[in-house]
Amino acid sequence: MQGMSERQYAAHVGLSRGAIQKAKTAERLVLYPDGSINAAASDARRAETTDPSKTRKPPAPKLKPVSEAAVAAVGDTLREQGLAVPAVGGGTTFLQAKTANEVMKAQERRYRLQRMKGDLIDRARAETLMFRLAREERDAWVTWPARVAALMAAELTAALGDESEVEAALMQKVLEAHVRAQLDSLAEVRTGLAG
């Protein structure tokens, strides 16, 4: 066989075998002496003899538009993994999007596993705990001068001798002023959990 069979030519041009048989009967195909189809010559003859308005064009696939945020997320994910990122406005290929999707699924599984192991904790819970601990620490320092002022005043009086007596109320007032100043300076420091 020199050329293609009816089935092979039908697959070649994307038509049914019946359509090829009709074209063969109408002599719109070029045949070799053995009856096989000369593909190149038949393609040319069919192009000449076929009415363009009667040709079936495959329908264009209906694709949903992809948001810029999704394309940017794909680029970010690929960049984080050190993979090739499409140029701005260059468009993302299906393979790049699929790769980014697989990378994100793997990251999600890793985070889920780390959380199950206890390596990761809930951010809101950690912030609540930090706030509670800081509040307890501050409250302990606020009440500290009242607890130790009388003891410190007695120790200073004993150390200085009888000629000078340190009043407990004055000691408490001075300690409170210094503790409040220290707490105010510590309040300026922000230890938020970075996102």
pLDDT digits (tens, 9 = 90+) for 85-119: 666 555 667 777 777 778 888 888 888 888 888 88
The answer to whether the CB of 193 falls within 8 A of the CB of 127 is yes
The SS3 assignment for 21 reads helix
Residue 39: which of 2, 66, 84 has the closest Cα?
Answer: 2
Distance CA 16, CA 37 (A): 15
Beta strand residue intervals within the chain, DSSP E: none
Instruction: Check whether 37 has a pLDDT greater than 90.
Output: yes
SS (H, E, C) 114-138: HHHHCCCCCHHHHHHHHHHHHHHHH
Structure tokens at 39: 């593909």
Q: Identify the band that residue 60 occupies on the pLDDT scale cut at 50, 70 and 90.
A: low
Tell me what the pLDDT averaged over the chain comes to: 81
| Structural tokens at position 40 | 């190149």
Q: Work out the burial of residue 192: count CB atoms within 10 Å of its CB; fewer than 13 is exposed, 13-18 middle, 19 or more buried.
A: exposed
Q: What pTM did the predictor assign?
A: 0.38
Residue 110: count of CB within 10 angstroms of its CB = 12
